[in-house]
Amino acid sequence: MKLELCGPDFIGKKNTLTTWYTLEFGNGEECEGGMFAFKLALTKLGYDPDNLEPEQYLEVLDEITNDHPGVLVKVGYSDPDENGQVWTRVRIEDLSDSDVVEAYRDNIPY
């Protein structure tokens, strides 16, 4: 998931934030935690993931990619892991249709 941060604090600065969900392990087994977080994000975007068939996820993701919904997010950081890596944690809080989001969309050519 790639998020573009908009607002006065991000003008002229790096304004992209990328996060990801592990939905399935290499052996084909579902990653419960990743799937839970993914479904929670879809719910915040107005979808009902429990009523989606797995093949419909790609359609939903295409729709989100094309619509560029404005969302409020909460950003946190993990404790350093054994290699000292700190991971960014992004959680979608709610949809946002604020004037700042609309102005940003109007000025960014997709």
Residue corresponding to tokens 């990619």: 65
Looking at every residue in the chain, the average pLDDT score rounds to 87
Share of the chain above pLDDT 70, in %: 98
Residue 46's closest CA among 5, 1, 92, 4?
A: 92
Better-predicted residue by pLDDT, 106 or 47: 47
71-109 pLDDT per residue, tens: 988 888 889 999 999 988 888 888 988 888 888 888 876
Q: List, as one string, the DSSP characters of 47-76.
A: --GGGS-TTHHHHHHHHHHHH---EEEEEE
